[in-house]
Chain A
Amino acid sequence: MAEVVFDHVTRIYPGNDKPSVDDLNLNIKDGEFLVLVGPSGCGKSTTLRMLAGLEEVNKGSIRIGDKDVTTMQPKDRDIAMVFQNYALYPHMTVADNMGFALKIAGTPKEEIRKRVEEAAKILDLTEYLDRKPKALSGGQRQRVAMGRAIVRKPKVFLMDEPLSNLDAKLRVQTRTQIAALQRQLGVTTLYVTHDQTEALTMGDRIAVIKLGILQQVGAPTELYDRPANVFVAGFIGSPSMNLNTHPVVNGKAKIGEDTIELPTEAVKKLTAEDNNQIVVGFRPEDADLAPANDPNAFSLKVINVEDLGSDGYIYGNIITDGSAAETAQVMSDQNKLTTVRVNPRVLPKVGDTVKIKIDPSKMHLFAPSTELRLN
């Protein structure tokens, strides 16, 4: 059991000017499941590898518990890289498959048996301990592999995209298992993924990283409900948040012919650099159809609709007046259409123009110049 601390950690690869990880400060609490998430090349794997001892740290330090491990060899750090393709040995029993690494380390036999039995209980493998892998199902084989990491009782588990080599079916199943297992064991865990769904469903806390810079750390709901900047807003959540830049006129956001009200304290925070504009974000579920005469709604030209039975989705283009400032600039990485979730019984038709009203308490506002949250 241990806390992990990244203290002003920087990694610059030889020959690069820009750091791959830049002045990272991050605490993983004792027993916590922290998910590090970000797009390809954001520095998340580099961060994990620095903790594993596979990458050098150019500036700053890393601590596991009260030990400074910054320059320590990987094998001395008491960490376990889980799932690095553990092979199952066909002639060994399940118990031996799980415990052989302890045997190598010279752990006494009784201790090995004890730890293997404990792990088997957690993994629901007790009745299979004396069987060979051949007699197991795929899920059970997978759990034997997990058992190998568990019996070592490391201070920290490191998982780098552990689900990427599993097919879709096994991936969802294993995702639940890893999260449940980590909670039972209470071992501090750093989990790296590019998949925000994995992050939201598994982590106690999520750290979002982009281009080597930590964007926000918080509980899944915190990141979902109050993203600190435009990047986090667009990255977390699926379908992703609608994000557009609009002119601010008389304290209101001008969307095409329409205007919507903005909280005064948010508008006050805009600066000259923002050029009288504001980024308005809302999640597809935080808006709804509104009557044609609603003064606080905007018009959407419906391009496509989806009826999923329980939910309906409208995809459309915000109708703008064509002025330069109004070319609805989409800042999230989803397709350029605005998405709204509605009651599937009242889905409009493709080609219709509808009014959409954003729930004012669920509106996310950002400054265009800094991309930081305003409300």
Chain B
Amino acid sequence: MQASSNISQLDPRAAKATSVTAEDEHDNSVEPQALTITAASSNPKMFTLPWHQPLATWPKDLLANLPRGISRHVVRFVHVGDDVYAMKEITRQMAEREYEILRRVQKLELPAVTPIAVVTGRHDRNGDPLEAILVTKHLKFSLPYRALFARNLRPDTAERLIDALAVLMVRLHLSGFYWGDVSLSNVLFLRDADAFSAWLVDAETGDLQVNLTEGQREYDIDLARTNIIGELMDLASGQLLPGEVDEIEVGNRLVDRYHSLWSALTDTDKFRPDEMWKIEKRVDKLNELGFDVDELEMKTAEDGKRVLVRPRVVDAGYASRKLLRLTGLDVQENQARRLLNDLDAYRASTWREGEELEIVATDWMREVFEPTVRMIPREYRSQIEPAQFFHEVLTHRWYLAEQAGHDVPMAEAVKSYIRSVLPNYKLDKKDIDALLEEADAGVIDDEFSYNDPDDDGYDPDDDPDAAVWSH
């Protein structure tokens, strides 16, 4: 299977994204004899890692104790200098293929993990070959869905995750990415104000095309529904899902959400020529959904009495781009919206509505945003994004004010928030260990990961299965 069909027809950014092309295994595509690292980063520490050891046996002091999702392959988070990388041990073809496709997806500015390297030609000390490793950058502040359910959460968490996944699927599909394996496990979530944003983390079965067929989109949706329901049923089996959640209903929500978003972004509207204001309304609605409209297609219907309008190019991140322009802050869409609202409120409360927004924004950063986020205690700095902290403090402040019946100063709100809400963010070691054990329960291709039921030293070589299959 090729990673991208018709590469020459893809968006040039995607077409030129990488020198790596996954090939079928044949005579002229042999495994390199010596360790080979094809990297998109020049972190020299990469060469000092114990590549000659199976990933499952890497020394603990190299590993970052972060929660992992369920995978069929061995995955570890590894400290490499100041970075944390996710390493996945898979066959060379799969590693190259996924690296290639993630590079292309990244160039299209889609929310996906950043590929760092493919490491091939690994051998152990006896000279026996080891599988390749795909290296991606750990998405800071992100969590797998299971980690979110390991804590006491709002009862609507499942729904908010589904909404984020629907947005991700629509964005990927609009860009021609067929996923082939949509599930909560193959996504990482970032908090985004009161919502979540979803990031593609597993592209093993993905394919980038010029356009997707309806069959491909429908297959992705159907598979997503089945997998989500399965994943939620699993949480329910482990008593991790609030009792009132109906797994099938949540799965169906994905289908509905996807379709309504897809049609908002792609449907053709019909207007009478004197109803052109409706175009503006359509664009406003798309902005509300977080999408910018780059191109609109307008044509007259055959009867000559109606105008047909359809968005041709839409880009996600309407609010986040605006905030980035004003403040240099690169945050999630809903966080950006919240920060922009606070910026507006600041402008109104300081009587500066006539002034240019860029100048007001600089002052807001210095006087409001930065002093607040500087108060994040050190031990939480790797757990919560500054923009999310700011958003949650604003919400907390609002509740405090409602209780007190008057405004509460920001500094006081921050202190109260740190004391009463922030501790919920901490995953303790016990939770993480439980998650890691769960994550390894599905690994199928690594003998170090099996907990043999009879503890007789499982060896795939003398697996009794072979005998079972032969009769």
Contact = CB atoms under 8 A, between A and B. Distances in A.
Contact of B213 (A15, A56, A100, A135): A56
Size bracket, chain A contacts? 35 or more
A335 B2 CA distance: 24
A96 to B, nearest CB: 7
Interface stretch (A173-181, A254-262, A323-331, A351-359): A173-181
B206 to A, nearest CB: 11
Contact of A88 (B91, B178, B441, B445): B441
Nearest to B236: A91
B83 to A, nearest CB: 26
Given A88-B70, A176-B469, A138 B445 contact: yes
Nearest to B130: A167
- Count chain A CB atoms within 10 A of each CB in B248, B442, B458 and give the residue with the most: B442
B159 interface: no
B302 interface: no
A278 to B, nearest CB: 26
Contacts of A56: 213, 215
Contacts of A103: 233
A13 B450 contact: no
Interface in B174-231: 178, 180-181, 183, 185, 204-205, 210-211, 213-216, 218-219, 222-223, 226-227, 229-231
A165 B90 contact: yes
A89 B233 contact: yes
A375 to B, nearest CB: 28
B9 interface: yes
Contact of B223 (A84, A137, A167): A84
A73 B27 CA distance: 38
Interface in A293-312: none
Interface in A42-97: 45, 52-56, 73-75, 84-92, 96
Contacts of B460: 137-139, 169-170, 173
B342 interface: no
Given A45-B1, A91-B235, A195 B25 contact: yes
Contact of A164 (B93, B219, B441): B93
A55 B215 contact: yes
Given A15-B6, A16-B6, A136-B453, A180 B470 contact: yes
Contacts of A335: 27
Contact of B25 (A41, A169, A194, A333): A194
Contacts, number: 185
B470 A54 contact: no
B452 interface: yes
Nearest to A145: B444
Contact of A133 (B215, B441, B470): B441
A15 B444 contact: no
B24 A89 contact: no
B94 A96 contact: no
Contact of B70 (A54, A87, A143, A165): A87
Contacts of A160: 1
A177 B210 contact: no
Contacts of A222: none
Given A15-B9, A74-B219, A101-B226, 6 more contacts: A40-B23, A90-B441, A92-B234, A136-B453, A167-B131, A194-B25
> What 6 A-B pairs have minimum CB-CB distances, sorted nearest first?
A91-B238, A89-B234, A88-B442, A91-B237, A90-B441, A194-B24
